[in-house]
Structure 1
Amino acid sequence: MKSIFYVILLLISVETFAQSEAEVQKTIETFFEGFHKQDSTLLNQVVYKDVTLQTIVINREGKTILHTEDYSNFITSILSIPKNQKFKEKLLDFDIKIDGNMANAWTPYQFWFNDQFSHCGVNSFQLIKVDNAWKIFSLVDTRRKDCEE
């Protein structure tokens, strides 16, 4: 009888974890839906207050730098892209880790501008679950030109 109980408990745990992973992935997909539609309302629905946006790049002198962008500046820059310009960040995969109310998602991507390959890299999302919803509180990305298309 105990064996059956443990099997049922294990199955419930696996299903709950898979559901949480799907919720985290949906949060990130909603972020990019808002990004591509230039919809600040949609973006704001999935970010936590005081969200941090950072990029790791190699500058012209060959030094690695960490650039931090204010979220309001990010929104302004997204909204200022002319509607006749096409941009798409294509997520290639999701590697999601969850512990309680904290999640991390590693998402390799390719960025396309006006149907031309621009760059690639990886996004590292940090999320918190508050009020039964996952919110992005930190996003760090890398940007490279040396990648396979």
Structure 2
Amino acid sequence: MKKAIVCLFALFMGYSSFGQEASEGSEIQNVIETFFEGFHAKDSIIMKSVLAEGVIVQTVGKSKSGEIKLHNEEISEVLKNIVSIPSETTFKEVIHSYDIRIDGAMANAWTPYSFFLNDGFSHCGVNNFQLFKKDNKWKIIYLIDTRRREGCEDIAKK
């Protein structure tokens, strides 16, 4: 009987922690969706609401000569560039999936995407968000993405 109670307790705790992680995953996905809500609306206030102070932003891509480069970006410049996009320019980043990993107050979200500019395909890649939970709120502390035009047919499958 004692073994049965211990087994049931362990099983319950496993489901309980799974439920917590699923809930945390939903919170993290909501943070990322809020970021893109602001991005698509060209609203820096919405975007800042989910960014930690001192957030780091980088991009991996090819230079005009074809060399793979790591580009560091200042968040203030990123936000300024987004809000200054002309109103006649349309853009949309479509996230294909979320692979979210959590360990306590740290999380990582891998999000393959396709980017469309003025209703035409522009490029694809993967966003990698690092998040930190403080005062019961997840914030983006680091964002790096890749950008490419080749190999995009399979990006939605990643």
Normalised-by-shorter TM-score class = over 0.9
Q: Counterpart of 2:153? A: 148
Equivalent residue runs for 1:5-20 within 5 Å? 5-20=9-24
Give unmatched runs, 5+ long, in structure 2.
Answer: none
Give unmatched runs, 5+ long, in structure 1.
Answer: none
Counterparts of 1:114 and 1:3 in 2: how far apart (Å)? 57
- Could you give the per-residue CA deviations for residues 103-137 of structure 1, whole angstroms, max 9, x where no partner exists? 00000000001100000000010000011011001
Name which of 52, 59, 62 aligns with 2:63.
59
Q: Give TM-score, length-normalised by structure 2.
A: 0.91
**2:134 partner letter:** V
**1:87 partner letter:** F
Q: Identity percentage over the alignment?
A: 48
- Could you give the per-residue CA deviations for residues 3-26 of structure 1, whole angstroms, max 9, x where no partner exists? 221121111111001001111111
Deviation at 1:62, TM superposition (A): 2.1
Equivalent pairs counted in the alignment come to 149
Counterparts of 1:12 and 1:79 in 2: how far apart (Å)? 42
| Structure 1 runs of 4+ with >3 Å offset | none
- Could you give the per-residue CA deviations for residues 87-107 of structure 1, whole angstroms, max 9, x where no partner exists? 000001101111000000000
Name which of 117, 128, 144 aligns with 1:124.
128
Q: Counterpart of 1:90? A: 94
Q: Counterpart of 1:27? A: 31
Counterparts of 1:112 and 1:142 in 2: how far apart (Å)? 15
Deviation at 1:40, TM superposition (A): 1.0
